[in-house]
A and B are shown apart, each in its own frame.
Chain A
Amino acid sequence: MTTEEIDAVAKLDTPAPRATGADGPAAKKRVATEGGVLNVFSHGILVVWALMVGVPLLWVLWSAFKDSNGILTDPWGLPTALHWENWSNAWNDANMGQYFINTAIVVGGSVVGTMVLGSMAAYVLARFTFPGNRFIYYLFVAGMSFPVFMLVIPLFFVLRDFPGSTLLATYHGLILVYIAYSLPFTVFFMTSFFRTLPNSVAEAAMIDGASHTRTFFQVMLPMAKPGLISIGIFNFLGQWNQYLLPMVLNQQEEKYVLTQGLAMIALQQGYENDWGALMAGMMIAMLPVLIVYAIFQRQVQAGLTAGAIK
């Protein structure tokens, strides 16, 4: 999912500081009385959809251990032997290792940058009155409704003709762009979050002689941790999976991020060649996301749907 999609929703709704991932009513007692038929029916449909979603994803996993010929001619077959060489082929020969490092550098830099700059701006906008406050807030929020496609052409030239040296196909160029495009939603989300925090703690810190800056970093930021986690996960996933922006702004192969690398291999291959390495490459690209999702399932679901819930 791209950030602009979520942004578009969020724009249309009032802020929700933190959506609680609702887990349906917990099944505590297993006293079955009625509704058995419907229960079987609903379970049946749910299982079918779960298979439709789960099997293609598992297919990537088991195909990552098959030889290319097997993937192509017998797509449903389980691996006969574990072809670990797919993984090293993907990492080395198909350059997924390089793409992985590129992605980690860019996303690492941009997530940290987005969080720091976004919460700084949001904090000021949420808790200080000054002329132009509303104007700046709406300027940020308006960014959630711009279609990115409309912006990529001028953006390409902004980067190409950047004073000093070009920002095209550079880590810092991509980092700056990711930050800029993540700011609208981050500012929107964090502003509403900072508004919910009590005033008294900040006031106490100020009375004790802490500066505004110190109050922010040592008192307010730690208090905003739940919000920071939600928006941090949101930004991480959005930026890790970003496709359009690097496609346009990052067209040198040695600087490719994972999504570009995968698309390139897939498009080149058509229905031939080293599918084993491609499948292993997809697993490599998915692993970090998978880990985050498995650990933070509730926060991920809450974070991604946050913009749309009141």
Chain B
Amino acid sequence: MQHGKYRFIVGFLALPLIIYGVFVLSPFVQAFQISLTDWSGLVGTANFIGLDNFERLWESDDFWNALRHNVYMLALVPVVTLGLGLFFAFMLNVGGRRKKNEVVTGVTGSKFYKFVFFFPQVISITIVAVIWFNIYNPDPNDGMLNSLLGTVGLDSLQNSWLGEKSIALWCISAVMVWGHVGFYVVLFSAAMASIPRDIYEAALLDGANRFHTFFKITLPLLWDAVQTGWVYMGIIALDAFALVQIMSVNNGGPDGATDVMPLRLYVTAFRDSQFGYASAMGIAMLIVTMTFALLTMRFARRERVEF
């Protein structure tokens, strides 16, 4: 029996472990090795150069520029996305008409709203990028956003969007928010549905209005979900590769105004063939991501409310 058991265990684990080891674990280890070399990709031409790549990275204005843009997005995108997500979820679940027998009610059609809001999550980021590329078309008559603004008489707000250095990054951030709000609406809705009704009932008897209900009951009880969502959205803000690559003028332009770390890495590696240097960027990204995740978990920790 024992013999059969171990043969079974090995038989079931071997293939998944080999595939995982070859394509995920070994690249993870190799990334550190490559980052210490000046490798250009040809077999057998890598020289060990110690921490030179990291020194170069530290002094690279381009990389700091890209990192800064990721940090800007990290500061803005999660707040806005989670804020809107919470707001809509609250509307959907608690914002409905009062009914005689129920204390809190969702609005009618909440299922339909969730279906629509969630939609951008299931389509490819490439399609999202192409759609918004058209919305931001700079032509005052042809661009979707511009022509809409023109029609309602807000010509003064017309802009060249992605072509305008000062706002291009925010245009791309807006797409990120647009695409992810639905995810949080669904996530928070599920969490809200698990909050017992009698808590709301008690609050209403005590005379709490919806505003109080939200900040004193719903939000504290959702804190775990908010915290997790924050980390998740932060990781997305630290990426932004596909949107920038497809939408931005000249790959990260105009004039580097939308450059982000992953795009730097991609260009350095697969256009310039500086694989050692690009790997160092990868390690830097790992450090930034980990630092962010750990800081969030450290500072967002609160007493858990059991219910």
Contact = CB atoms under 8 A, between A and B. Distances in A.
B152 interface: no
B167 interface: no
B205 interface: no
Interface stretch (B17-25, B49-57, B59-67): B17-25
A42 B131 CA distance: 28
Interface string A276-310: 00100010011001101100010011101100111
A150 B289 CA distance: 11
Given A53-B182, A158-B26, A180-B19, A212 B8 contact: yes
Given A53-B120, A263-B246, A121 B16 contact: yes
A107 B124 CA distance: 14
A120 interface: yes
Interface stretch (A68-76, A81-89, A197-205, A224-232): A68-76
Contacts, number: 336
B144 A76 contact: yes
Nearest to B139: A271
Contacts of B93: 24-25
A308 B187 contact: yes
A49 B119 contact: no
8 contacts: A9-B232, A24-B105, A39-B95, A73-B141, A153-B269, A153-B282, A258-B124, A309-B187
Interface of A: 1-2, 5-6, 8-9, 12-13, 19-27, 29, 31-36, 38-39, 42-43, 45-46, 49-50, 52-54, 56-57, 59-60, 72-73, 75-76, 117-118, 120-121, 123-125, 128, 130, 136, 139-140, 143, 145-147, 149-158, 161, 176-177, 179-181, 183-184, 187, 211-213, 216, 237, 240-241, 243-244, 248, 258-259, 262-263, 266-267, 271, 278, 282, 285-286, 289-290, 292-293, 297, 300-302, 304-305, 308-310
Interface of B: 4-6, 8-9, 11-13, 15-17, 19-20, 22-28, 30-31, 34, 41, 43, 84, 87-88, 91-93, 95-102, 104-108, 110-111, 113-127, 129-135, 137, 139, 141-144, 147-148, 178, 181-183, 186-187, 189-194, 210, 224-225, 228-229, 231-232, 235-236, 239, 241-242, 245-246, 261-262, 265-266, 269-270, 275, 278-279, 282-283, 285-286, 289-290, 293, 297
